[in-house]
Copies of this chain bind each other. A is one copy, B any other.
Amino acid sequence: MSGKKLQFGLIGAGRIGPVHAATVAFRLPEAEIAAITDINHEAAQALAARFSIPRIAASAAEIFADPKIDAVLICTSTGTHADLIVEAAKAGKHIFCEKPISLSLREIDRSIAAVNAAGVKLQVGFNRRFDSNFLRVRQAVAAGEVGAPNLLHIISRDPAPPPLAYIRTSGGIFLDMMIHDFDMARYLMGEEVEEVYAAGGVFVDPGFREAGDFDTAVVMLRFKGGALGTIDNSRKATFGYDQRVEILGSKGKISTENRYPNQVVVSSEKTVYTDLPLNFFMQRYPESFALELELFTKAVLEDRPTPVSGADSRVPVVMALAARKSADEHRPVRLEEVER
């Protein structure tokens, strides 16, 4: 592929599409977006104008059929991911797909099978792995900087819940929100989880209860090697996005603090205060969105494995399904119980 830029087709011009378009435009001299499509034609047009994307395709199929396109960015809603992956794979396109591939393991397996059959590359958008804080923690654990990792805590709270209309089709807090943290748990510890115990609550909005969901949840993890962990999710932290991890190892502890817009401290007559932390993922994780795509592009261009594999996209869904089962049945659930 030397001598020419990697040609992307962008499918989906919604919330995350523009983020990836910007990365390709501004940070990836070795790639460009050749075509865009969205069922909302105007959204596609607007994005094309903003980033000088030369062509607006009528459909994803049109993109898959374009022999000049090397890879696709699937940024549509979750329900469409599996079909798009299968079609893209059949067309021989490399695939970057937003998380999760599907809420159904069967669909995920079908997707991965198509990818494997076609021999194309697949990466799922677990962007937080590429945040400078979590990269640093992973690096420390891998290098033994805190010894053997024995205890993990993940705090992951949103500033405000999405609309209940969204919640009703979201798959629930474990599949929709904690899925990122399940990925993070495996990634940071470098080890698989064997069993989960989950409990939820509704403290933010009774609408969650009506939707059969929780707005707050805590999950205890047992890793295969015996290590223990917890994940805490809340749909509403009034002070903003709260994203922290801590690992206690046999030689020490590593932990991350929240990220703030500035390093200013004011000492007033009443309190010593700072501004609130960065409010949400768009403010907090821009760098990780860019880096994940940079690494995907490199993996394709240099024909190397992507940093988030097919299995990486599947296991967090298994964990989420086990967590849901645990909360429903009020008992610890082994991951193998939800495998079929």
**Which residues of A are interface residues toward B (Cβ below 8 A)?**
25-27, 29, 50, 132-133, 136-137, 140, 145-148, 150-151, 153, 155, 157, 197, 199, 201-204, 216-218, 220, 222, 226-230, 232, 234, 236-240, 242, 248, 250-259, 261-277, 330-332
Contact = CB atoms under 8 A, between A and B. Distances in A.
Nearest to A26: B26
25 contacts: A26-B26, A132-B261, A133-B264, A145-B268, A150-B203, A151-B216, A151-B218, A151-B234, A199-B228, A203-B250, A216-B228, A218-B228, A228-B232, A236-B250, A237-B248, A239-B268, A240-B267, A251-B269, A253-B266, A254-B265, A270-B276, A271-B274, A271-B275, A272-B274, A273-B274
Given A264-B136, A274-B271, A277-B272, A150 B251 contact: no
A276 B266 contact: no
By Cβ-Cβ distance, the 7 closest A-B pairs, closest first, are A26-B26, A239-B267, A271-B273, A257-B263, A273-B273, A253-B267, A252-B268
The copy count of this chain in the complex is 4
A262 B136 contact: yes
B150 A201 contact: yes
Contacts of A132: 261-262
A145 B266 contact: yes
A222 B199 CA distance: 8
Contacts of A218: 151, 220, 228-230
Interface of A is mostly: mixed
A259 B263 contact: yes
A77 to B, nearest CB: 28
Nearest to A248: B234
A246 to B, nearest CB: 8
A313 B264 CA distance: 26
A56 B203 CA distance: 57
A248 B157 contact: yes
A316 to B, nearest CB: 21
Contacts of A25: 26
Contact of A276 (B27, B133, B147, B267): B267
B216 A199 contact: no
